Amino acid sequence: MPKRTDIKRVLVIGSGPIVIGQACEFDYSGTQACKALRAEGLTVILVNSNPATIMTDPELADRTYVEPLTPEVLEKIIAIEKPDAILPTVGGQTALNLAVQLDELGILKKYHVALIGASIPAIKVAEDRLLFRDAMTEIGIAVPASGVAKTLEEALVLVEQTGFPSIIRPSFTMGGVGGGIAYNLEEFKEIAGRGLHLSPVHEVLIEESVIGWKEFELEVMRDAADNFVVICSIENIDPMGVHTGDSITVAPALTLTDKEYQRMRDAGRRIIRRVGVETGGSNIQFAINPDDGRMVAIEMNPRVSRSSALASKATGFPIAKIAAKLALGYHLDEIPNDITRVTPASFEPTIDYVVVKFPRWNFEKFPQADRTLTTQMKSVGEAMAIGRTFKEAFLKGVRSLELGKEGLLFRRPQMDVNEEDAGSSEDEDTELRRQLVIPSDRRMWAVFRALDKGWDIEKLHELTNMDPWFLQQFKELVELRKTAEMIGLRDMSYDLMRTLKRAGFGDGELADILGVNEKAVREKRHELKLRTSFKRIDTCAAEFESFTPYMYSTFETECEADPTDHKKVIILGSGPNRIGQGIEFDYCCCHAVFGFKKEGFETVMVNCNPETVSTDYDTADRLYFEPLTFEDVMAVVEREREGNVDVSCVVQFGGQTPLKLALGLQEAGVTILGTSPDSIDLAEDRQRFNELLWDLGIPQPASGTATSKAEARDVAAKVRFPVVVRPSYVLGGRNMAIVYDVATLDRYMSTAVDVSHDRPILVDRFLEHAKEVDVDCVADESGAVVIGGIMEHIEEAGIHSGDSSCVVPPPGLGERHLTTIRDYTRRIAKALKVVGLMNTQYAIKDDMVYVLEVNPRASRTVPYLSKANGVPLAQVAARVMAGKSLAELGIIDDMAPVGVFVKSPVFPFVRFPGVDTILGPEMKSTGEVMGGADSFGMAFVKAMLGAGQRLPESGSVCISVNNEDKGEVLPIAKGFAELGFQIIGTRGTAAYLRANGVDCSVVFKVNEGRPSLADEIVNRKISLVVNTPHGRESFFDDKAVRRAAMMASVPCITTITGAAAALEAIRALKTEGLEVRALQDYYAAVDGS
Amino acid sequence: MNAILALENGTWFQGVSAGAAGETTGEVVFNTSMTGYQEILTDPSYAGQIVTMTAPQIGNYGVAGADTESDQPQVAGFVMRDASPVSSNWRATGTLRDYLVRHHIVAISDVDTRALTRALRSSGVMRGIIATGSVDPAVLVERARRVPQMEGSDLVKDVTTKEAYDFETALADAVTDASFGLPPLRRAKRALKVAAYDFGIKTNILRRLAAHGCQVRVFPASTPASEVMAWQPDGIFLSNGPGDPAAVTYAIDNIKKLAEGTTPMFGICLGHQLMGLALGAKTYKLKFGHRGGNHPVKQLDTGAIEITSQNHGFAVAPDSLPATTRVTHLNLYDGTIEGLRHINKPIFSVQYHPEASPGPHDADYLFQEFLDEMEKN
């Protein structure tokens, strides 16, 4: 079939900000789709509120809208762009839900827009739990017994039939938000109530529990001619009961007989047909009872998903790209397989390796959060590892997580004794049993501890329900560990070392097991002549030749790396997403690839995050899917050197992960391009850095370093409280805190100090109520420095820059301060001999500019600035690192944004009941959005809207601020009153406002009486909350208010500057009205002027 | 215990013994299926072959009675990357290793199977040998070079049934009961008698025929056409099997005679090649064959794509086709002929395995087409 000729313009909907359950995988799929559609000559219109995506690069679509993902905004875009069709299947649940809303609002009909990839009825059957259940019953596919409830009463009736434990699944939510497992009636009421609230259609499915059953997924595709293929099967090592995003998974499925697998495949085919996905990819989940083989279908996603990104990376079959082509009417057999070139896409990939995906959680950021894993996803990222065997892939997966000591599965017994206070072994067993029964992020470590203690597989299976085959593999690893420990490094034979390496043991792990350092293991390995080899991922298990150098390491006889003799550069990626190191860094790595390609380099990518664009085999010239450890990176370097050329590495773009490797690589003789590792170290080494700034005459807050309580107290006494404390070499403000007194400081030093014990804790004076500013610049070898942007934070200093909204151009900075900031930035960049990017954070207090921090590397704000300026900063930096001067690239003047752009963060609090939503120096946001306009107010409106906060145009504003803030909140309250808002205050605030002429009613604080402020929020009597923290004693009160506001989606602003911004935004909303504009138009306007 | 796999080209692979101790020789081939090792082991078409699984983890789910395609393993030897010491499945009756030992199948694991596969892909299938214990690779290479070539070998005579027998339908039901049996698209409207030539028939073909309502009598490969016709079958089935089709001259002769009549005839794999030869076409040996469960095959009449189960080293040569036959199915990987049909007789065949086992069930409709032809007749 030729492609559809009725479609010329396609609107692709992205997935918006990174949140738990929707991460980079949709940038990967969206980017692939955009490329595929444009390759077919179509005009692509893209909308996504997330600026930190490759898909929103202006080159990737014809028209790029970085605008909030709401039906109103989409209607405006549709009205302007008049697309023939919308592709809603590459933007996750967000895009699918928007498509349904557009249909329900009649917008699709009004503008004659077709949906391609999935039809509304198909989306509904797949997403509506009841319709899905009925459809399955109709085609004779078993599903767990279930019923749908619209109210809590209905839910209670249903649970009587389905029994406990009970699975609660809200309809139309993503990543299982609001769902859960209830073991008793009380829990049931709580979870069902929450689920009903969080479901956009206020509907939950109450389902029979199949907890403990084996869990599988099929990634399937279908074309318009009803051809059907399974791209990949995935087996969850954590059985049913843990969200697949939180499960350790393996591809292909390893414990299914052919009979069982083919039965599942047949079911998959019938399901995709019945649901009615005419073209594209779908993900179908199944559960199998391990005792009798009974199979039930759990759910189906009629779109590309996190699992399909994983499947694409695991097999080399680009699902999103093919899905986009199928949506245009191509048939599978008309599309070639990129990797083999000679065979068509109408086949089923077969793989001759094992892939393990490990989720990455960030519970340490949310100490109050419940770490139990349930049907609601809690992980923030994932690492994928590839090995020739399960064991090898599994251990590579564990080390890809970068968990440090925490990540070591094999801890020497003596360490355990030291750490776990000498409780009786009975208590210990009870605790271990609990950790095995109740799934948490640490369960796998408990499994290994149990095996180490000699617990047998049968018992472990009983406790965890993990398939005995996996447990056997783990047991073999534990046995190998014991053998290695017994023999020791000195006496280790070639055979044993080979067995250990083939089982996936990293040099670092072995060092820990053997009680030696990693270098000793490495040397021994070299002495035994045991070298890493690389195999290719080719979709066909070597049946055909592959033309795509997509590789993984293993220890085998034959190496297929086949390095070239081209001028080459290795770009180190950023590993699994975590809070503080997310998609922004992958964006930068991709641009580094683009930049080096332009400079004639062969680009080699090393990364282990399956969600990303950087791990698309189409991005870099060569891709190594590998953990980012010294050992794994050096193995790549050594193989690439066989091309008889110098191999250099780039560590600046992937966040802290590659930076940590920089010194080691340099010591091993690897050239590091760009800013030297020594300069990087200088910026991180507080003492050296202080000296540098002192020499430059640039002020910074008084500071010192401490390795003990006593030292910390001394420093604090010298610099005076409040102080900011944090470990060196961290990203995302990990373990960063603002400390007001000695007792808290002592506590911090005793609990947090082990985060990086070989590096001191930094103690800085905290500048209260200061204005914070971020600056990104790029510098070249000649010492030229061009500033990419000066970003003014909307929240004041003290809130992590990643959690703060910011704006360019800075509206609240005087020319004098701007000049100072530019001058400081230039001088620091020159002093550090920066070649590439540098991020600097400043605070302005009492009319004085202080340097807070300098990071000579790509920062989180680089993609946002790139979009705001229309210049890809990271790409410029890469070209500069390749030897070009800024002048040669035509970049001479400091850059300026093409409009007013606000960046706002997005938080995962909704998934962590009980966690306070207050912001501080430790970063908690998972993603960001950008809003652009001509005025700050409107840009802020859009950013808030993009982040899911609809600012009200009328209603009541409740103000509850601490004493210090009362003076500053007064004009804001007056402003809201002028805009026609009713003002409500808690007692103290209301008294103050009234005394100053603001008409204001009073509401109880939470612990004062009822109805309280929280009640009024729930009752939707309040449309905006301004609540600054009242200090420790009333802490609980504030927290309850903030949480109530979050759950009711009422904007809750916790800083005065934020409130002022919101006021300005609402004023803009009431006067200007919301308009949309494509990035290309912003850029054209500037070019034209 | 150590083991070595040596090839006729002089290369050899060190590994560990994963089955019976001893020595075995055969043609080394690779199979890219990710599931179904037990079905592969017991498929008589693998007689004389040392089968390498490209999927690295083999034996995980053990072995089970219902997953066999004949009474016992048929491969000459078995090569794996990583063999599971345990079995984990509710139906498992034992481990793969015990099964291989019990049936005296020499096997090797811990081999770089990908390197081996790449070698077979680039130079074509090779003769090889697996030997366990302390053995000299150079000696083994010499022995590998003395293994008879597959071309010209009639291996059918070694695997076919000695006497005719009726397939017990209950056996088909047993599998259906385990809820694995694919429900047939339809059952025969009347009791249809199918005479199946056993060139090394897979049990699942019999199960599928029975599931469709056929009463099947299995005949030895050399049974004269007249004897088969004396049973008055509604249809004749030509089974899969090992070796070079051109060497099975007695079967070709019988098929020629049967094709002169009007009884519907359906062939699979070797049966397809023999039918091609009987109708006047020629066969040739593929470089490294088709063995796996993922080959796309296009039905030329409808354009539909089937994902197929494949196991063959020979194929019907396209330029040798007589005017009386047409190609119905093509392999989209390499354009080889996957299906043939007589232009005016109810005679058709496919190169691949519609009975699957292992592999996808996409082509099960062919059994119904056979029913259609028999009922029309």
CA atoms within 13 A on the CB side of A49: 33
pLDDT given at position A726: 85
Q: Does the pLDDT at position A417 exceed 80?
A: no
- Active-site position among B39, B69, B212, B269: B269
Tell me the pLDDT tens digit for each residue of A906-930. 999 888 888 888 888 889 999 999 9
Residue A414 confidence (pLDDT): 43
DSSP type of residue A912: S
Q: Give A1015: exposed, middle or buried? Use CB within 10 Å, 0-12, 13-18, 19+.
A: middle
Nearest to A390 among B57, B64, B180 (CB): B57
The DSSP output letter for B146 is T
- Strands A806-808 vs A785-793: parallel, antiparallel or unpaired: antiparallel
State the average pLDDT for chain A: 92
CB within 8 Å of chain A, chain B residues 254-313: 292-296, 298, 303-305, 307
Who has greater pLDDT, A118 or A74? A74
Is B214 annotated as catalytic?
no
Q: Compute the half-sphere exposure of residue A121: CA atoms within 13 Å on the CB side of its CA.
A: 7
Strand A622-625 relative to strand A550-554, pairing: parallel
Rounded mean pLDDT, B142-150: 94
Question: What does the block give as tokens for B1?
Answer: 């215990």
Question: Which tens digit of pLDDT belongs to each residue from A985-998?
Answer: 999 999 999 999 99
Quote the pLDDT of residue A786: 98
Task: Name residue A600's amino acid.
Answer: G
Active site residue B272: no
Q: Which residues of A touch B333 (CB under 8 A)?
A: 342-343, 347, 544
Identity of the residue in A261, A350, A469 whose CB atom sits nearest the CB atom of B294: A350
The full set of domains in chain B, from first to last, is 2-144 (3.50.30.20), 156-376 (3.40.50.880)
Concatenate the DSSP letters of all residues of A179-219 into one string: -EEESSHHHHHHHHHHHHHHSTT--EEEEE--TTSEEEEEE
Between residues A684 and B356, which one has the greater pLDDT?
A: B356
- pLDDT value of residue A416: 44
- Nearest Cα to Cα of residue A869 among A1081, A1077, A1083, A1075: A1083
Chain mean pLDDT for chain B? 95
Identify the weakest region by mean pLDDT among A62-76, A120-134, A821-835, B313-327: A120-134
Which of B2, B14, B32, B362 is the best substitution to test chain A (most A C-beta atoms within 10 A)? Answer: B32
- CA dist B375 and A842 (Å) reads 87
A224 in contact with chain B, both atoms CB, cutoff 8 A: no
Reply yes or no on whether the pLDDT at A762 is more than 60.
yes
Specify whether B355 is catalytic.
yes
The total of other beta-carbon atoms located within 10 Å of residue A779's CB is 28
Per-residue pLDDT tens for A794-810? Answer: 988 888 989 999 999 99
Instruction: Check pLDDT > 50 for residue A418.
Output: no
How many angstroms separate the CA atoms of B167 and A546, rounded?
A: 45
Nearest chain A residue to B86, by CA: A469
Top pLDDT among A725 and A396 is at A396
Dist. CA A509–CA A765, nearest whole Å: 39
* Closest residue in A to B85 (Cα–Cα): A472
Interface contact flag, B56 A349, Cβ < 8 Å: no
> Is the pLDDT score of B60 beyond 50?
yes
> Quick one: which of A276, A281, A279 has its CA closest to A301?
A281
* Whether B67 and A227 lie within 8 Å, measured CB to CB: no
Instruction: Give the DSSP letter string of B164-226.
Output: -EEPPHHHHHHHHHTT-SPPPS---SS-EEEEEEESS--HHHHHHHHHTTEEEEEEETT--HH
Q: Which residue of A has its CA nearest to B57?
A: A389
CA–CA dist A941, A49 (Å, integer): 13
- When CB atoms are compared, the residue of A350, A354, A389 closest to B32 is A350
**A326-362 per-position pLDDT tens digit:** 999 999 999 999 898 889 999 999 999 999 999 999 9
Please state the rounded mean pLDDT for residues A284-312. Answer: 95
CA distance B355 to B111: 31
Residue B363: closest C-alpha in chain A: A266
Q: In this predicted structure, what is the pLDDT of residue A1045?
A: 87
pLDDT at A757: 53
CB contact under 8 A, A262 and B295: no
Dihedral angle, C-alpha B239, B243, B249, B255, nearest 10 °: 20
pLDDT at A1089: 56
Please compute the mean of the pLDDT values over residues A781-805 and round it to a whole number.
Answer: 93
A346 in contact with chain B, both atoms CB, cutoff 8 A = yes
A540 touches B: beta carbon within 8 Å: yes
What length does chain A have? Answer: 1089
* pLDDT given for residue A754 in this prediction: 56
Using CB atoms, which residue from A349, A389, A542 is nearest to B57? A389
| Residue in A with minimal Cα distance to B84 | A469
DSSP state, residue A440 = B
Query: What pLDDT is recorded for position A1047?
Result: 80
CA distance A282 to A279: 9
Q: How distant, in Å, are the alpha carbons of A141, A143, A532 from that of A267?
A: 7, 12, 41
Using the Cβ of A255 and the Cβ atoms of chain B, whether some distance falls under 8 Å is answered with yes
What are the pLDDT digits (tens) for A890-902? 999 999 999 999 9
pTM of the model: 0.95
Cβ contacts (< 8 Å) between A500 and chain B: which residues? Answer: none
Q: Distance (Å, rounded) from C-alpha A196 to C-alpha A427?
A: 40
Q: For B206-228, how does the pLDDT look when each residue is reduced to its tens digit (9 = 90+)? A: 999 999 999 999 999 999 999 99
Judged against a pLDDT cut of 80, whether residue A791 lies above it is answered with: yes
Residues 181 to 200 of B: which have CB under 8 A from any A CB? 182
